[in-house]
Structures are given as C-alpha cells and as structure tokens.
Amino acid sequence: QKLMPDAFQSFVTISDRLEKHYRDMQDLEFTIERGKLWMLQTRSGKRTAKAALKIAVEMARDKLISKEEAVARIDPASLDQLLHPTIDPKAARDVIGIGLPASPGAATGEIVFSSNDAEELKT
C-alpha cells in the first residue's frame, strides 16, 4: 500500500469486482511489473467445511445469495467433518506432538507405536 499505492488501489478494485462477480471469496494470483498490476488468474478460495458453512450462512443472511444457493454451496461429504467431536480450543491441554490428522475430529485412547501393539490392545 505504501510502496505501490496505484497498484494497491487497482488490486483492491479488481479483487472487489471479482468477488462480486463470482459471489465467492477468491484466491487471486497476480504480479506487479514496473509498478503495473497484472492479474494472472482467480479461483474460488479453498476453505474448511466449518468456514464454508459460516460463509454461506452469512452471505444468505446478507442477501448476497439465496438460501437455496447457500445450501447448494455446501458439499454434503464435507458436512461429515462438522459432526465429529472436537477439542475445545479454550481447554487446558498439553500438546505432546503435532502432525497431519487421519480423520476429522478428536479421539481418545492409548498411544501405540507399532501395528503389533495396536493389534494386542484390540484383543
């Protein structure tokens, strides 16, 4: 904004126009060459199931889209993610590791470090 005010203002204007045209949050790819903004591509922004639901409800409430369109925007398979229990983000907890989840939601149980140990616990 401070370094290239003209390019910044162009970006704001174009991004607003694209979001109104597509009626959805956009993921914008752009470049600035010699102070001129070049829009390369746009696509609907990715989001979690929870975010998609919240955005659809807010857009329908604000009359930007119809209730029917809001419902149609939600992928039925992604709703499954919303039905899994989750850990309260405000709850006190000790983080013992980080990684990619195997499934949405939260679970409890014993930790094992091999498939053999898991099989033994199962029996």
What contacts 51, CB < 8 A, 6 or more positions away? Answer: none
Identify whether 72 is part of a domain. Answer: no
Identify the burial level of 73 via C-beta atoms within 10 angstroms of its C-beta, where 0-12 means exposed, 13-18 middle and 19 or more buried. Answer: middle
Residue 96 forms part of a structural domain:
no
Quote helix, strand, coil % in the chain, to nearest 5: 40, 15, 45
Q: Is residue 114 part of a domain?
A: no
Report how many domains make up the chain.
1
- Neighbour tally for 62: CB within 10 Å: 8
What pLDDT, on a 0 to 100 scale, did the predictor assign at position 17?
Answer: 95
Residue 36 in any domain: the answer is yes
pLDDT at 116: 92
Domain containing 4: what range? 1-46
pTM over 0.85: no
H-helix segments, the chain: 5-22, 49-61, 67-72, 76-82, 115-122
pLDDT reported for residue 32: 96
pLDDT at 108: 76
For residue 9, being part of any structural domain is answered with yes
In angstroms, rounded to a whole number, what is the distance separating the alpha carbons of residues 75 and 69? 12
Domain annotation covers residue 15: yes
Predicted local distance difference test score (pLDDT) of residue 48: 86
- Low-confidence residues in the chain, pLDDT < 70: none
- Residue 102: inside a domain, yes or no? no
CATH of the domain at 9: 3.30.470.20
* Residue 30 within any structural domain of the chain: yes
